Amino acid sequence: MFLTDDEKSILNGDKGEVVREALDYIIQFGDAFQAQRLVDITYCHYPAEMAIYEGSVEDVVEYSARGGKVAVPTTTSTLCCDLEKPDITGVPDELFKLQSKVEKAHRKMGICETYTCTPQKIGFVPPFGANIAAVESSAIIYYNSVLGCRTNRGGTLTRYSAITGKYPLMGYMLDENRKGTHLFKVKISPERLDSYDAMCALGFHIGEIVGSEVPVIDGIKPKSLNNIIGFGAALATSGSVTLYHIPGITPEARNLHEAFQGENPKEEYEILEKDLDAVYEKMNTIHSGAIDFVTLGCPHYDLEQIRHVAEMLKGEKVADGVRFWICTNRMTRLQAEYSGYVKTIEDAGAKVVADTCPVESHMRKSTCREFGLKIPNVYDMVTDSVKMVRYVGDLIGCRTRLTDTETCIKTAIKGRWN
């Protein structure tokens, strides 16, 4: 691998042992994938160490004590509990105390304590073409596809990129790997696709077909940022899609010719109404009866979405025995508190939860066993998120119902799915 004089200097230890070691890891990783050189990154979305994974918190505390400092703006992904208001989620005290240790470690390293899966919603928006290193599938696919940044799926290597500001030139950072592979012609009414859950279902269906390749979607013009985010999150959930193109949305694919870089697609598919119906049929294991959990905010909700929930809950009460979480980041919750939305939601008996979400929380079956909590911790969950449905069945062990946001809220008030 070609190294610049600055990179050679780092390997000689001129910037300290922590930075030298980090760059060495990155070079080894790049060599394994035949990367010819490294690139400078401008931003990093970091995998916040979670207490539900053994040794994760202890590792970052030890690493921060060694003096590592991030070299680029760095945000953090979700945790296993709400660090500001742990009581509202029912997290075991021992787990909360362990998880809270990451804040001091992250602050010492210069990492922003955002603890969200949607950093793009709170101002972390790198410019078109920027090389970045990111974790969290819904953020990665958004940065690649909507902003035209360049990132692979980060994993633990993201720490070393944050410390050095470097990443191997490989994968989706290369032009040739960003061309479309499969064409999907959507034949579904725009009115149906105005719904957040329907866009999620569309993404899930396409992701199942395309796997890890690059789909090009023709025939849709999403008007809502949140629908675009939900669509990408679902694509990355059913498959391992890291980049997609929608002509007119994706900046490097203004038309089909650009999306495929002048070549023909490997395969073409038509997406019909019945394909979305099949996704709902697969996702829905609740058909009638009482429910005990409603969750919104996967990926994390923004202020406008929280405002909408508050308006629908004003003067209402969540049914007895129902937990209702609206998940967001702590900065958005602070604004929602200032605007009075949190009080309205809490007066109705729901909770605005920051830093985490059900699938990342103590409600996982493995964590429940460790702390003597009931399994499943949730029996019947209603949500507007395909991503949430996809994971909670395995990780929490509950039955699920996918529906639109308004019906989720009405179901929380009724306490039943009819």
Q: What is the pLDDT along the chain (418 residues), one digit of tens a residue?
A: 999 999 999 999 999 999 999 999 999 999 999 999 999 999 999 998 999 999 999 999 999 999 999 999 999 999 999 999 999 999 999 999 999 999 999 999 999 999 999 999 999 999 999 999 999 999 999 999 999 999 999 888 999 999 999 999 999 999 999 999 999 999 999 999 999 999 999 999 999 999 999 999 999 988 899 999 999 999 999 999 999 999 989 999 999 999 999 999 999 999 999 999 999 999 999 999 999 999 999 999 999 999 999 999 999 999 999 999 999 999 999 999 999 999 999 999 999 999 999 999 999 999 999 999 999 999 999 999 999 999 999 999 999 999 999 999 999 999 999 8
Task: Look at residue 416 and give its three-state secondary structure.
Answer: strand
CATH superfamily of 284-417: Aconitase, domain 3 (3.30.499.10)
In DSSP notation, 56-109 reads HHHHHHHHHHTT---SS-EEE---SS-SS-GGGTT--HHHHHHHTHHHHHHHHH
User: What is the rounded distance in angstroms from the CA atom of residue 225 to the CA atom of residue 247?
Assistant: 16
Q: Pull the structure tokens for residue 375.
A: 């399994």
What angle is formed at CA 178 by the lines to CA 140 and CA 257, rounded to 5 degrees? 125
Cis, peptide link before residue 376, omega less than 30° from 0: yes
- Residue 154 pLDDT: 87
Contact predicate 213/240, CB 8 Å: no
Cβ–Cβ < 8 Å for 215, 180 = yes
Residues 64 and 163: beta-carbon distance below 8 Å: no
Give 93-111 pLDDT, tens digit per residue. Answer: 999 999 999 999 999 999 9
Residue type at 411 in one-letter notation: T
Helices (H), 79-224: 93-99, 101-109, 137-145, 157-164, 196-210
User: Position of tokens 């008030």?
Assistant: 413
pTM equals 0.96
> Which residues in 232-261 are b (16+ Cβ under 10 Å) and which e?
bbbbbbbbebbbbbbbebbebbeeeebbbe
Q: Is 13 helix (H, G, I), strand (E, B) or coil?
A: coil
User: Helix (H, G, I), strand (E, B), or coil: what is residue 323?
Assistant: strand
Bond prior to 73 in cis (omega within 30° of 0): no
Dihedral class, residue 76 (left if φ above 0, else alpha if ψ from -120 to 50, else beta): beta
Select from 34, 33, 10, 32 the least CA-distant residue to 22: 10
Predicted pLDDT at 156 = 84
For residues 372 and 369, give the distance between their C-alpha atoms in angstroms, rounded to a whole number.
5
Question: Encoding tokens for residue 69?
Answer: 């400092």
**Contacts (Cβ under 8 Å, ≥6 apart) of 260:** 179, 180, 183, 216
5-173 and 284-417: identical CATH topology: yes
Residue count of the chain: 418
CATH of domain 5-173: 3.30.499.10
Q: What is the pLDDT of residue 129?
A: 96
> What is the pLDDT at residue 70?
98
In this prediction, residue 155 carries a pLDDT of: 84
Spatial CA neighbour of 7 closest among 39, 45, 44 = 39
* Domain regions of the chain by residue span: 5-173, 179-281, 284-417
Q: Judge whether 403 and 382 are in contact, CB under 8 Å.
A: yes
What is the three-state SS of 260-287?
Answer: CCCCCCCEEEEECHHHHHHHHHHHCCCC
In this predicted structure, what is the pLDDT of residue 95?
A: 97
| Residue 270 burial class via C-beta count within 10 angstroms: exposed 0-12, middle 13-18, buried 19 and up | exposed
